[in-house]
Copies of this chain bind each other. A is one copy, B any other.
Amino acid sequence: MSGGCPYFEKKHLLFKSKLLLNEEEADESQKGINKASKGGIIYGDYLQLDKVVTAQVLQSELKGNKIHDEHLFIVTHQAYELWFKQILWELDSVREIFISGHVRDERNMLKVNTRIHRIVMIFRLLVDQFSVLETMTALDFYDFREYLSPASGFQSLQFRLLENKIGVPDNLRVPYNRRHYRDNFKGHESEMLLSSEKEPCLLKLVEKWLERTPGLEGDGFNFWKKLEANIFEGLCLEKKKIAKMPDSEEKEEMMEELTKQKELFTSLFDIKRHEHLLSKGERRISYKALQGALMIYFYREEPRFQVPFQLLSNLMDIDTLMTKWRYNHVCMVHRMIGSKAGTGGSSGYHYLRSTVSDRYKVFVDLFNLATFLIPRHWVPKLDPNEHTFLFTAEYCDSSYCSSEDSD
């Protein structure tokens, strides 16, 4: 954008603090010495480039042995941190919409979904970004890595904040050398982390929102009860059909499979089992929220659920991309420092590998629900004339304006 970005320049525009300039005149205004005098701002100042592009100090140079590739190392990490900042910016704004209750006004769903999607696009870039650092070989890295001690990526405040705010739970983190991740941070930073653990994370906010999914009401459409009835009726019909088949190995297999299916779905409707899985960290959201998610899956084409369905997809994308990022990171580390297999001590490489795990997938329930899909004709029917609630969105009068303001 930067190099010759005229839409950037276009801004001189119409309603510039009531300073109406046309294009030629805007250009005029850039001429010579009196540019600043017109009160505008110039590119380098706007972007604070005096800070950003002067922040590359090579430790190797300071220590009298300037190594060319350290510059790449610094710039790459700074670029990661810049984008982490942007992700936090989006994440905080979305969390704010949920926390303030503005999400009840469904006009805000576009905003929520767009910003979550933007995080997806940033992570996609971050995954690709490894290809640049990979132009540095292990040997190039070796030449300066000694100077960096004891600095460590574990000390990236923003990445830890990001994990916390999305919802990586403290108790599922893989410990590194028996130390708590927060011990890498001191004073102010440690407090920021602690407070980010206490604030409602995206996972918890989405959970609350899913619990309010229209159609779950026991005195209304009562999706969950209807679904249970349909599934077991379907399985029963299936059983009868199989029973009528002449005896054969195939028939036996089908019967066995049917039994397994029944067990599977019985477990789905068993709240005790849900609580058990929750306690083990194998499920992360409430039973009600799980129902909401499944409802959105099955009725995703209903007008009110179209954007919510996109949102659930985007949340899975974030999870997937974060683990891909972790995995790409592992691959790079393997190339840079080897596996140190046999040298004893849990290595950084092996630690990192262990974080490429479903434990770090925050929205793991949204993936695992794929286990409980059913044929379309088992899904409880919605009559659009009767069940108009899926056609009519809600808004929130009072909060609307404030929502606008807050943004």
Contact = CB atoms under 8 A, between A and B. Distances in A.
Given A24-B177, A141-B7, A341-B282, A55 B59 contact: no
A152 B8 contact: yes
Q: How many copies, total?
A: 4
Interface in A175-213: 176-177, 179, 183-184, 186, 189
Contacts of A385: 397
A247 B73 CA distance: 36
Given A27-B177, A89-B71, A84 B338 contact: no
A131 B322 CA distance: 15
Given A82-B75, A282-B341, A343-B264, A149 B31 contact: no
A303 B307 CA distance: 9
Interface residues of A, number: 207
A355 to B, nearest CB: 7
Nearest to A138: B370
Interface in A1-48: 1-27, 29-33, 35, 38, 40-48
Contact of A313 (B122, B137, B375): B137
Interface in A346-388: 347-349, 351-352, 355-356, 358, 367-373, 375-376, 384-385
A288 interface: no
A9 B152 contact: yes
Contact of A16 (B42, B147, B358, B392): B147
B15 A186 contact: no
A135 B117 contact: yes
Nearest to A371: B338
B80 A148 contact: no
A44 B250 contact: no
A175 B337 CA distance: 30
Given A12-B150, A138-B373, 14 more contacts: A1-B77, A1-B133, A1-B332, A4-B153, A7-B145, A7-B337, A21-B254, A25-B253, A47-B74, A67-B407, A72-B86, A107-B302, A122-B132, A327-B356
